[in-house]
Structure 1
Amino acid sequence: IRTITLPREVKRPNTLIANFIFDEQNTDFSTSAHASCDNMYVYMADTTNPGIIVYDAARDSAWRLQHPKMYPDPDYGTYRVAGEYYSLMDGILGLAVAASHNFQKSLYFQAFASTRLFSVPIAELLRGPNPGDDSDLPVTLAGHKSSQSAALCTDFRDGSLVFSPVTETA
């Protein structure tokens, strides 16, 4: 267990970390040796200042990456739950790690106020802070959902991405 203080250039005044994904690197499960907790990256979704914060446990360093696809879509900021309507313009919220079609790990993400699902190669996130404009990150549209959803997870048995559509389940 450790405490992490995010540097000023990573967090924003109203940063809201809404999701954590722990990504253990190069773990050999065939041996009984325990992997070091330092051999890990943590991906965090900042929903109010849409972006992904990456924490490298081995180096005890963090950086922020932002992309226009992490922002809310104004066309999907209104939600219908149990016949009631409300507005919430949250950005990136759901995160999940899965192997993509080329067998490389990707981070899948979605803004709460959106019906689109995107992916970015993990290798791109691990390059560290981008000295230029993050809009050059290779973000790919992975698909469309039937409605907005908050949670996103991976079924590691078959690599399926699972979400709970708000309109159909609330």
Structure 2
Amino acid sequence: MWRNVRLILFVTIAMVSCSEQNLLEVEEMHSWRYLEYLHAKSSNPEKAFFTGMQVWRDKIFINIPRLYDNIPITFGWIPRFENAPTFDQPIRPFPDYSWQDAEGRGQCRGFVSTFRSRIDRCNRIWTIDSGKINALGSTPPLNPRVPCPPRILGFDLETGHFVKSVAVPNEVINNMTTFTYLSVEFVPGGDCDDMYIYLSDTLGWGLVVYDVKRNSFWRHEHNAFNPDPSKVWSSINGERFNMGDGLIGSTVATLNGERVFIFHPYARTTLFYVPLRFINDPTVKHLPVRPLMEQSSQGIPLATDRHNTVYMSMITETNVLRWNPSRFGPQPVLVAEDNKRFQVVADFSFDGDEVWLASNRLQGVINDSYFKNATNLRIMRLRKKRTGH
């Protein structure tokens, strides 16, 4: 069966379907030159950028990895304003400042460095903490301080109460392990604890699965999680940058009636998939990974909305695409492109049928070319174009 699926779906994103009726309007909701913090300052603001963003009711949650020192907040939020866009709105700590300094507090009771979060159907937010600080600011590079093991932390958004913190065990990590992305999946018919959390080990080149109900971890490895050395250079508007990361973006969707895990490493231009039942089985030694489609350039985020539509963004093309064969045909559909504001799309979130995205000009951090007097970071919303304009 999977061979037939591959023949049908192995398409090239360069051949995206494009129609004016598919294009969505881009609304810039929040933007920053450099990130600002409530009641705190950073001594190197040009080195702080967000990688994760999730929208929930009147709040927008933001993840700011501590790839350099002196970043006061790694997991924060801002109020969501509808009537007018905001500029340089101060980021507030979540849940408060006492959680923002695990290194100083000791006993690993707070955050060290978070990359992304996901909100589940039970209104809990889960974030992955890499446990590492100053990876890009160290000499030599990628020699961070590691005050804590990598951990998954959860909070109840209805009450604001802490739910859980669990350290990823040594048995499923390696010396390079750096978790930067996560996705969640509930067991059909199960309760709030019947869920899996999938962790992308971007520098350790693997996938770690956490079974929440059984409190157990296991690791999968596959060549498809690894970077392609020929794809480590990316280009945006003529600016080249080097990033040789492995597995990053992932999401879960239904394909031909079966739940599948869809993913890509950063330094590759192939989108892959594997039936979820193999991912969720700790006894599986060889994952039956298959290519799903060829991308026109590298990409970071993947996300699936409530209609089983997968969203993605290509770095060089500075666009947003969506893919749902049952709704839009076999090829990805272009829904928005913006060579200024979509540098680099780092995360997606959904609020009903609204698509939210965050961009961070990652190439500016890597190349030390962040704008001094212009916008670098944005949170945007995609909506159907309004008539009468």
User: Which TM class, normalised by the smaller chain length?
Assistant: 0.7 to 0.9
Kept after mapping to 2: 8 A contact 1:22/1:43: yes
Deviation at 1:14, TM superposition (A): 2.7
Question: What amino acid sits opposite 1:163 in the alignment?
Answer: M
The total of aligned residue pairs comes to 157
RMSD of equivalent CA atoms: 1.4
In 1, distance between residues paired with 2:242 and 2:183?
Answer: 27
SS for the counterpart of 1:165 is coil
Alignment partner of 1:68 is 2:68: no
Deviation at 1:37, TM superposition (A): 2.8
Q: Which runs of 5+ in 1 are unaligned?
A: 28-34
Q: Deviations over 1:43-100 (max 9, x none)?
A: 1100001111000011101011010011111121101123211111000000010011
Indicate which of 162, 165, 170 corresponds to 2:314.
165
Higher alpha-carbon Rg: 2
Report the counterpart of residue 40 of structure 1 in structure 2.
Answer: 195
Matches within 5 A, 1:93-104: 93-101=248-256, 103-104=257-258
In the alignment, the residues of structure 2 paired with residue 17 and residue 93 of structure 1 have an alpha-carbon distance, to the nearest angstrom, of 9
Alignment match of 2:179 (pick from 12, 17, 23): 17
Normalised to the residue count of structure 1, the TM-score between the two structures is 0.87
CA contact (8 A) 1:42 1:54 kept: yes
Runs in 1 of length 4+ with deviation above 3 angstroms? none
Task: Letter of the 1:151 partner, please give it.
Answer: P
Residue 124 (str. 1) matches residue 286 (str. 2): no
Q: Distance in 2 between matches of 1:153 and 1:61?
A: 25
For residue 70 of structure 1, what is the amino acid of its counterpart?
A: F
Tell me the distance in 2 between the aligned counterparts of 1:14 and 1:72.
Answer: 14
Secondary structure of 1:146 counterpart: coil
Partner of 2:87: none
Q: For the residues of structure 1 that align with 2:207 and 2:199, how far apart are their CA atoms?
A: 6
The letter for the 2-side match of 1:7 is P
Q: CA deviation at 1:160?
A: 2.8
Identity %: 32
Contact 1:37/1:57 (CA < 8 Å) preserved in 2? no
Aligned position for 2:302? 152
CA distance in 2, matches of 1:155, 1:144: 21
Give the 3-state SS of the residue equivalent to 2:245 in structure 1: coil
Corresponding residue for residue 350 of structure 2: none
Work out whether residues 251 and 261 of structure 2, in 8 Å CA contact, stay in contact via their aligned partners in 1. yes
Give 1:129 deviation, angstroms: 4.4
Q: Does 1:85 align with 2:240?
A: yes
Cross-structure match for 2:267? 113
TM-fit CA distance, 1:165? 0.3
In structure 2, the gaps of 5 or more residues are 1-162, 319-342, 344-389
Q: Which amino acid aligns with 1:147?
A: S
Q: Does 1:5 align with 2:167?
A: yes
Cα distance in 2 for partners of 1:137, 1:10 equals 16
